Structure 1
Amino acid sequence: MTSAGVLTLVAIVEYAGGAEAAGQRYEDAVLALLERHGGRLERRLHGTDGQTEVQVIQFDSQAGYESFLADPDRAALRAALGDSAPTTRVIEVRKG
């Protein structure tokens, strides 16, 4: 974790083949939940392949990130997509 407890993450999101539009709508909805957990989207980039997205996200604390992961609204959105839900790899990063 970086100084002052701020947590910076890079999320690499891959949409399921044939479900790119649904995956983007899911990401839009999930990213809208960040604020309630002390999180904010710093940057969102869409791959030229149409199937990949990169997000830079900051949380005020590790606890905020953990509460975001446990958010029941987030879980419900993911469950609604089933096998069409995107896969995500999250990497903690620091400036330097």
Structure 2
Amino acid sequence: MTDGKLLLVALVDLVPGAEADSARYEDEVLALLPRHGGVLERRLTTGETEVQVIRFESRAGLDAFMGDPERLALRDRYGDTAPAARVLEVIDR
């Protein structure tokens, strides 16, 4: 985006049979966004898939979030119940 901010859409596939644990993992990870200049704008679910709209003040904030040791530890702790996500950088029209 031209103002340096990033707008992202994350498509998160919750783990079949472990949807509650997958959603709990997402709750904990999304709570880390503010420390890196990130804001969760929307969170929608079908029960099996989540769509998250996230804004970051800068790419550096996104990079810091991705490398956050607490986020990485959560992924290790949740193991196979941590969901996979596809993240798209989008532009508001």
Could you tell me which amino acid in structure 2 is paired with residue 5 of structure 1? G
What number of residue pairs does the alignment pair up?
Answer: 93
2:10 counterpart residue number: 11
1:45 counterpart residue number: 44
1:81 aligns to 2:78 (yes or no) = yes
Deviation at 1:85, TM superposition (A): 1.1
Could you tell me which amino acid in structure 2 is paired with residue 10 of structure 1? V
SS in 1 for 2:16: coil
Q: In angstroms, what is the RMSD of aligned CA positions?
A: 0.6
Give the TM-score, by structure 2 length. 0.97
Deviation at 1:11, TM superposition (A): 0.1
Cα distance between partner residues in 1 of 2:15 and 2:22:
7
1:57 aligns to 2:31 (yes or no) = no
Cα distance between partner residues in 2 of 1:76 and 1:92:
25
Deviation at 1:13, TM superposition (A): 0.3
SS in 1 for 2:3: helix
SS in 2 for 1:17: coil
Runs of 4+ in 1 over 4 A off after TM superposition: none
Cα distance between partner residues in 2 of 1:46 and 1:17:
14
Could you tell me which amino acid in structure 1 is paired with residue 43 of structure 2? R
Give the TM-score, by structure 1 length. 0.94
SS in 1 for 2:17: coil
Identity in percent: 58
